[in-house]
């Protein structure tokens, strides 16, 4: 079985993080989106880079909507 990572997003820093811990919010303000394999995490980040032309990512609520759309594909 592939190890699962907690895909996290920081609205303040506008960037993603992978965490193999169990925290829903780490000390750097990242908020959990969900647990996925490494490949699934990187696929979502590539999806976001393409959607936003690798520029500034949106606020957390918009990222959560994109995440929901992506995971329901």
- Measure CA of the first residue to CA of the last residue in the chain; give whole Å: 22
pTM: 0.82
Cα-based angle 65, 62, 16 (whole degrees, multiple of 5):
95
Q: Which residues contact 72 (CB under 8 A, 6 or more apart)?
A: none
The CA distance from 24 to 70, in Å, is 20
What residue numbers bound the domain in which 62 lies?
A: 5-71
Give the pLDDT score at 23: 61
Q: What is the pLDDT of residues 6-35, one digit of tens each?
A: 899 998 888 898 888 666 556 577 888 999
Considering its fold, how many domains does the chain have in total? 1
Supply 26's token pair. Answer: 């780490």
Give the pLDDT score at 1: 56
Decide if 35 contacts 6 (C-beta within 8 A): yes
Give the pLDDT score at 18: 86
Give the pLDDT score at 27: 59
């Amino acid at each position: 079985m592939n190890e699962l990572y907690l895909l996290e997003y920081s609205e303040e820093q506008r960037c993603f993080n992978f965490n193999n811990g169990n925290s829903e919010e780490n000390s750097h303000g990242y908020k959990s989106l969900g647990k996925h394999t490494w490949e699934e995490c990187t696929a979502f980040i590539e999806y976001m880079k393409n959607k936003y032309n690798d520029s500034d990512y949106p606020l957390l609520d918009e990222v959560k909507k994109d995440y929901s759309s992506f995971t329901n594909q």
